[in-house]
Structure 1
């Protein structure tokens, strides 16, 4: 108990997360007379996970896209195709943010990369300031459910290593996120339409649409390369990541020439710093997971929960509340490696499918990014747009309730998540 309090105190004082997890695992193994080399062995096990190759490759590709003018071309294309709809620019913003977040895996990058483009465009088009701020702040986290989202891949890696519940593939997880992600986009688009149908429309012209398509012609094949290659069986996920990275590198550096060769090391450094942090946390968390399994922590926790919660419905309600709070406190990658080893055995014990749990987890964490008082996106948007936090709280509130409704639908309608994968 004393050790747990010391570790908690160290965490509150700002000690790096990987050090806290590693210390907990080392102390646990030491107290049980287990050779501490087991921690090093868990790190070595990472080299046997071919799927992990996809994480640095997709991250590097996402950073390359965000550093180029790809977000501008994406905005022009979606606006040319959807701008004629009432609330069309808002729908354009939602779509563009979701696509960029899917590739970068980081909502903060999306707010910074697209915020300077979207916010002035929305204000110039007559959208209310609070609506515009709320839209950009919340849509920064959209896309976490769409392939090739890094949190989706990381959840799959952790769950597969635990061997709890039925086995599943990363491809199945990618399919499972499509319909829930589209549900969120549709509900937010409906809200955007209802709030802004009085605004003047942008007339659709074939010339502008063709010019926008032609300008983005080299980037348009990307989703088809990733999803088409994976679901056709032609690529494994790691192979699709390699092809995607090579393709983006050629397009942005050699064809568009928007990224100079001398800038590549700096972009690579920023991307790999993020990847390195994820892999270090993942390595020590696998060791920590093994200790918890040996100590039967999930079993004891499940027994405790079972005493107080009798039905799956009640468990899912409690799970949603817990994950919403967790999303405001922890980064999504940290939350995955810490909580999935504990939650997955309990959820399976209540009859929740592991793939369904992954989508529920990420959907809740997605909302946690902008849940008051300390959602990370709120701070990023406040700094980026120089607006007070209280204004951002008010601005994001309608979007919060809409996405909360979508989370409830995702949670209590498993077929929405599992339907596509069951057709394979």
Structure 2
């Protein structure tokens, strides 16, 4: 137990000093293998190799590349046109169309950053032109982009499933209703605060033309998610199908994707995976050894000694994850904390799938909170607006997301109804 407490102290100390996550994992790996692995370096190498020898890992670069291809092409523009035609008669229709487009694009890309850039590059100028304040437009886009990590397919859910050995298909299924719930909350808020903006006339002709141009874009989530939930595709196969479909549509149907664009997206994805995979290998090797030595079980028993109720644990866990989301990126937080929180959650009767959704939503909010707030940084860079303006713009949306988090945390049926 002393070693376990020392491990927690090492992690929290490194986080408080804002040490690079790679250095944290290396330090933790050395600590774990010194005290539990008899100091043999060969063990961590063997565990790293075994940890990353998983077919499902291939789905992560495939989904990332697919999202980047669609971001370079015309799928986002066509989705926005369809949603704008549908929401024309609603006050604040363009804002609502932006949230809905983010939700649909999220069901294709699985990435928050890709969703924000692809949709935002088109929607932001249109929102400002239609009379929406810059702060609101930036807040809506930054928050709408986070739907990319809760609406399946979701790259963070894939990471959580790999690290905790939880069914990725069940995680995807569990994310559907919470994702729709958050979309409804955000959409309702956008309509309410923009109720003064004049409605536009609904045009059946415009909708028909938009659907004609956007039919290939609209079919993609149907093919992708239909294949996963029908059992016809595994997560890895669905990622390959999504990438192949996006390449065919963007290159030969929309004719928006050049060979240079494809080269650039492949290079960006390779660079991103080059930084993620070493962290993943180290983290999974540590988890293998800790699990074999029953360290998570010891920690869970220790914590249950002074945290008696399930409600208290959920509140403490949410508070911890919200703080962690402010200082760590999502992938790193999942790799470090998911195995420990899983064992603790099971002590209080929390389903591993439900815990995965709670963790994802918490870290989703972390994308909007400084200082790390990835979506804030992306929005500042992409739209060339002051960081302070973006932070003020997302504050009301963060409040809405926190309400959604509480409901998702304390109403497990919202996540588990479709799974059971």
**Counterpart residue number, 2:32:** 28
Counterpart pick for 1:110 among 110, 115, 131: 115
Distance (whole Å) between structure 2 residues aligned to residue 389 and residue 282 of structure 1: 31
Counterpart pick for 2:169 among 155, 168, 171: 171
**Counterpart residue number, 2:126:** 121
Flag the 1:394–1:20 CA change in 2: closer, same or farther, 3 A: closer
Counterpart pick for 1:378 among 350, 361, 376: 376
Distance (whole Å) between structure 2 residues aligned to residue 2 and residue 309 of structure 1: 20
* 8 Å Cα contact 2:62/2:243 also seen in 1: yes
1:77 paired to 2:75 = no
* 8 Å Cα contact 1:183/1:406 also seen in 2: yes
1:100 paired to 2:98 = no
> SS of the residue aligned with 2:146?
coil
* 8 Å Cα contact 2:150/2:175 also seen in 1: yes
TM-score of the two chains, using structure 2 as the length reference: 0.91
Flag the 1:2–1:197 CA change in 2: closer, same or farther, 3 A: closer
**Counterpart residue number, 2:247:** 249
What per-residue deviation string (whole Å, max 9, x for no partner) do you get for residues 340-381 of structure 1? 011110011111000000000001111111124542322332
**Counterpart residue number, 2:356:** 358
* 8 Å Cα contact 1:105/1:150 also seen in 2: yes
Distance (whole Å) between structure 1 residues aligned to residue 386 and residue 218 of structure 2: 38
Consecutive unaligned residues of structure 1, counting only runs of 5 or more, are: 161-167
**Counterpart residue number, 1:62:** 67
> SS of the residue aligned with 2:305?
helix
Distance (whole Å) between structure 2 residues aligned to residue 147 and residue 420 of structure 1: 13
Counterpart pick for 2:311 among 313, 334, 359: 313
Distance (whole Å) between structure 2 residues aligned to residue 7 and residue 363 of structure 1: 22
Q: How many residues align?
A: 414
* 8 Å Cα contact 2:322/2:365 also seen in 1: yes
* 8 Å Cα contact 2:361/2:405 also seen in 1: yes
Consecutive unaligned residues of structure 2, counting only runs of 5 or more, are: 1-5
1:86 paired to 2:84 = no
Deviation of 1:331 (Å):
0.8
RMSD of Structure 2 on Structure 1 (CA): 2.4
**Counterpart residue number, 1:164:** none
Distance (whole Å) between structure 2 residues aligned to residue 105 and residue 272 of structure 1: 17
What per-residue deviation string (whole Å, max 9, x for no partner) do you get for residues 199-235 of structure 1? 1112221221111111122222111111111111222
Moved more, 376-385 or 171-180: 376-385
